[in-house]
Each structure stands twice: as C-alpha cells, then as structure tokens.
Amino acid sequence: MASNVSIAQFVRRKQDGGGRGNGASVLECISKIEALLGRKMNWKYVDENRKGDHICYMSDLRKFQSHYPEWKLTRSLDNIIERMVKGA
C-alpha cells in the first residue's frame, strides 16, 4: 500500500517531468546553463562511453498518464534549468 500512497502524492503534486518535450543532450544543457550564468563552465568532453550509459533514453509518458490522468507536466526543461541555476 505504501507505493500507492506515494504515487497518489506524486500525482497530486503534478511534478516536473520528462518525456520527448523535455529532452536534451548533456551538451545542450551545458550550453543553456552557460547562457544563464553568462560565463563558461569548467568541463571536459571525453569521446568515450561510460560503462552502463544509454546512448539515448526518452521516457514515453503515455502509459503513466493513462493510469494517472490528472498528472500533468508543470515545468519545461528551460524552467527546470533556470530554477537549478538560481539555486546554485
């Protein structure tokens, strides 16, 4: 029963979310963060896959939304990144 309570709370809060509309590569996110900060970040690109990394992962939210129709995305990727930068 505890998991049902957690899901119900999650649905009521109308959480941030992912899915195709809120997807971006790490490099795209770094670019967005640098633009918001107004400066370059200290990072290094290594052209080597880390063990266990997905090449690409995109959540399909349709099944979840069919089970929890009141759940909605509340923030765009840009809004989430802006909130992270302001909190930094």
Domain borders along the chain are 15-87
- Please report, for residues 2, 13, 47, 50, the alpha-carbon distance to residue 30 in angstroms, rounded to integers and kept in the order given: 37, 28, 16, 18
User: Hey, which CATH number is domain 15-87, 3.40.50.620, 3.90.245.10, 3.90.25.10, 3.90.79.10?
Assistant: 3.90.25.10
pLDDT at 62: 86
Indicate the helix (H) or strand (E) that contains 10. helix 2-13
CA–CA distances in Å: residue 15 to residues 30, 32, 47, 73? 23, 22, 34, 6
- Name the pTM for this structure: 0.66
pLDDT at position 64: 83
Query: What residues in the chain have per-residue pLDDT under 50?
Result: 1-3, 5, 14
Q: Residue 63 has which token pair?
A: 């099944």
Rounded to an integer, what distance in angstroms lies between the CA atom of residue 16 and that of residue 36? 20
